[in-house]
Amino acid sequence: MELEGKSAIVTGGSLGIGSAIALDLAKNGANVALNYRKHDAEARAICDQINAMGRRGLVVKADVASFKDAEAMVAAVVKEFGHIDILVNNAGVNRDAVIWKMTEEQWDEALAINLKGYFNYIRAAAPFFKEQASGKIINVTSINGLRGKFGQANYTAAKAGIIGLTKTVARDLARFNVNCNAVAPGLIETDMMKQAPDDVRQRALAEIVLGRLGKPEEVAYVVSFLCTEKARHITGEVIKIDGGQYI
């Protein structure tokens, strides 16, 4: 168990990629606190699975766009687990529209959750990482933050911003033995993607050289690796997990 005794926060941990990350961290020995906003039953089900592994799970209902909620959650996790070692920023939303139809509200909500939310949690956790002179931060971005995507100006701007944030935080916290990296998934077989029209799935598959969509656990495996000491000399990196969708 390479993460035995570690404690982690996973934002957006009730569904999809976030839940897979939370479960894989627990399988590797970590106690895991989940942030969620809407899906109470799903969050508690993931927490129950973590507890069934012999780890400690914690669920906290919080809005990642709220600076105060982030501070409160990090403080609650430190109080419950005694320390925080890992922060995985994953929570996000899609508010898609072509640029000439995108509303101010769609832009603001996507940036508030998908980018400011990451800042909020990093800012809240950084003093604890500094004090203990260790920590791992993993930010979930997207290949669309590297290449752009039709109808997603708000989403891709936020995901590109996460990459800049990752590299800067890696510099800011390096002297305190804190690693900060990002993973950039391509299209992943989440529940939302399973409900997509067949023509959307076929267009996506045509881009992927491995010929299939990724699985949430395949993102989780890379995140867990980056949280171990095996990855101690990796920081400021963006690792694509996309089956060759964007080469």
Q: Taking the mean position of all CA atoms in its chain, how far away is CA 241? A: 13
For residues 225 and 191, the answer to whether their CB atoms sit within 8 Å is no
- Quick one: 83 exposed, middle or buried, by C-beta within 10 A (0-12, 13-18, 19+)? middle
CA distances from 78 to 7, 31, 85, 128 (A): 9, 11, 10, 9
- Quick one: 207 exposed, middle or buried, by C-beta within 10 A (0-12, 13-18, 19+)? middle
SS3 220: helix
For residues 33 and 73, the answer to whether their CB atoms sit within 8 Å is yes
DSSP string for 161-225: HHHHHHHHHHHHHGGGTEEEEEEEE-SB--HHHHTS-HHHHHHHHHH-TTSS-B-HHHHHHHHHH
Catalytic residue among 118, 155, 221, 246: 155
User: Does residue 155 have an active-site annotation?
Assistant: yes
The phi and psi torsions of 138 (rounded to 5 degrees) equal: -125, 125
**Element holding 57 (H helix, E strand):** strand 57-61
Residues classed as catalytic: 155
